[in-house]
């Protein structure tokens, strides 16, 4: 009997498609690869790519996780087969308790998520975001002034800028003038809770789902999540109601919430769904753009020649009697290349947002089972030397430029060495990057809906900062430069942040303050 049972099990295993899972590291019984993961797993996944290849299979307490380390593989699956790769893994804490099933970030792909995305598509489309150019220009001027007035608080000024832009676009709110505005602290707390909940393994209930049914008095995680959901819902619905009251009084300001209210019947969203949708965009827009700008400043300190070249371009195109505008964009290819490189070099979401496969699939002879969590390793792809060259770990905007007399091949970056005297243009982006030059914004139906808005903000913010400011390292008592650590980062498991650092920020020329003041008066 025992022999028969063993034989049957052997036959079943031989016929099982699970034998064809992609390769990956061996784990331990029950826990699988869980103990091998670190707080920054994308770096480990990148190392495993050299051992197991571009597509890796992991086992996390019985859950299959597929890691994609290659542009083509990620595009083939998440873009070309997005109909079945657009699910979201179940998040008991994040989705079911902390956000009440109302956050687009946690929602699996379905009718509700489709209605939410459709309702904001027009406002966040490539043509729709043109309505916000004037606002973004004004905020960039205010930010530049803040950096020069209080250089030691540069990170707070960057956060103020992104928060002010986002609250204006989402809620039609007035410009925030202070880096200490209470709304910044409020939204940061909400995002910190959501990001922690999204981190794999942050809560045991995600691995041992029976814990969901523990009584509230015995489960502090459940009690805290429900309390936060109730308090956040009150805040978000209050912000939503504030816009509705202004509309009723005839004091409407153009905003995404105003659009949601006017088209509520058409899109079929409830008040709760609309208020949480607005808040989700609010939080995502604030955290990511500010993080990219901090990494940009790091790069300016480590790569001063990039700063010098960019400022030469600004002087030639813009001059010093006015600040840069969006009308200068086409004539500032080096500034645009810096923005692309900032997004590529240190992606704020290096591990990618998790997708979930909604039915069994096969790819390149490998079996990927229904319910598998699929992670695009943005870090590995953005730093792939086969695509970006042997210096892929360096900050080099020139990789996105070409001479107007030649162009780059679409499979990878050109070996073209940029020279200031060249008539430079943006080179064609590498294949599988959707003309962005990187994959930081994600894939398929889960691609970042605010990417066009973010691209515009980064362009004008970087242009204005480099036009008006010089970024230099501090020096110690012996005259040695104190450079920020760019090899190490901090993260909550999802969002990458720079380690705290200091620098000098000074006006580039005497008239900077006067020109900024004139610019502010013009808005």
Binding-site residues for heme: 448
Output the CA angle 404-324-294, nearest 5 degrees: 95
Q: How many CB atoms lie within 10 A of CB 363?
A: 15
Q: How far apart are CA 237 and CA 468, in angstroms?
A: 40
Q: How far apart are CA 355 and CA 440, in angstroms?
A: 15
In 362-450, alpha helices (H) = 378-382, 385-388
- Residue keyed to tokens 């049972």: 5
Q: How far apart are CA 130 and CA 453, in angstroms?
A: 8
Q: How far apart are CA 178 and CA 150, in angstroms?
A: 11
Q: How far apart are CA 470 and CA 269, in angstroms?
A: 47
Determine the distance from the C-alpha atom of residue 49 to the mean position of all C-alpha atoms in its chain, rounded to a whole number: 23
Report yes or no: 84 and 358 within 8 Å, Cβ to Cβ: yes
Name the binding residues.
448
**8-23 per-residue burial string, b: 16 or more CB within 10 A, e: under 16:** eeeeeeeeeeeeebbe
* Residue 235, token pair as written in the block: 């805040």
Report yes or no: 442 and 314 within 8 Å, Cβ to Cβ: no
């Amino acid at each position: 009997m025992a022999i028969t049972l063993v034989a049957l099990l052997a036959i079943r295993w031989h016929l099982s498609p699970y034998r064809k899972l992609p390769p990956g590291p061996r784990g331990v019984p029950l826990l699988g690869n869980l103990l091998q993961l670190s707080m920054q797993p994308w770096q480990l996944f990148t190392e495993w790519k050299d051992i197991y290849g571009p597509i890796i299979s992991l086992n996390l307490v019985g859950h299959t996780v597929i890691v994609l380390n290659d542009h083509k593989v990620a595009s083939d699956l998440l873009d070309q087969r997005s109909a079945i790769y657009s699910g979201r893994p179940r998040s008991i804490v994040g989705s079911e308790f902390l956000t009440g099933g109302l956050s687009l970030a946690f929602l699996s792909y379905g009718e509700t998520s489709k209605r939410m995305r459709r309702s904001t598509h027009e406002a966040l489309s490539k043509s729709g975001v043109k309505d916000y150019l004037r606002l973004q220009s004004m905020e960039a001027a205010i930010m530049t002034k803040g950096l020069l007035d209080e250089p030691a608080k540069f990170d707070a000024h960057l956060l103020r800028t992104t928060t002010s832009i986002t609250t204006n676009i989402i809620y039609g709110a007035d410009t925030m003038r202070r880096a200490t505005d209470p709304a910044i602290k409020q939204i940061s707390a909400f995002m910190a809770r959501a990001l922690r909940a999204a981190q794999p393994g942050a809560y045991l209930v995600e691995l041992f789902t029976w814990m969901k049914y523990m009584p509230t008095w015995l489960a502090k995680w459940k009690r805290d999540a429900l309390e936060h959901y109730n308090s956040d819902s009150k805040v978000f619905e209050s912000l939503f109601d504030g816009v509705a009251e202004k509309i009723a009084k005839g004091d409407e300001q153009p905003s995404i919430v105003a659009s949601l209210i006017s088209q509520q019947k058409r899109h079929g969203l409830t008040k709760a769904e609309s208020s949480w949708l607005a808040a989700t965009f609010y939080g995502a827009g604030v955290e990511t753009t500010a993080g990219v700008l901090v990494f940009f400043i790091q790069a300016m300190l480590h790569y001063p020649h990039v700063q010098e070249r960019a400022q030469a371009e600004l002087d030639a195109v813009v001059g010093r009697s006015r600040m840069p505008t969006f009308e200068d964009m086409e004539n500032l290819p080096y500034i645009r290349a810096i923005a692309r490189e900032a997004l590529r070099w240190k992606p704020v979401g290096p591990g990618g947002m998790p997708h979930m496969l909604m039915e069994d699939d096969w790819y390149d002879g490998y079996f990927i089972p229904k319910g598998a969590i699929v992670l695009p390793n943005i870090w590995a792809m953005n730093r792939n030397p086969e695509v970006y060259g042997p210096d892929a770990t360096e900050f080099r905007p020139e990789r996105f430029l070409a001479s107007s007399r030649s162009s780059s091949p679409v499979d990878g970056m050109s070996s073209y060495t940029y020279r200031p005297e060249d008539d430079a243009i943006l080179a064609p982006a590498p294949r599988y990057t959707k003309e962005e030059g990187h994959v930081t914004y994600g894939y398929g139906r889960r691609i970042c809906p605010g990417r066009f808005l973010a691209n515009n903000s980064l362009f004008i913010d970087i242009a204005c900062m480099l036009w008006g400011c010089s970024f230099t390292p501090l020096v110690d008592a012996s005259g040695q430069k104190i450079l920020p650590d760019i090899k190490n980062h901090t993260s909550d498991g999802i969002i990458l942040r720079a380690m705290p650092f200091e620098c000098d920020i000074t006006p580039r020329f005497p008239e900077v303050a006067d020109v900024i003041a004139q610019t502010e008066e013009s808005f």
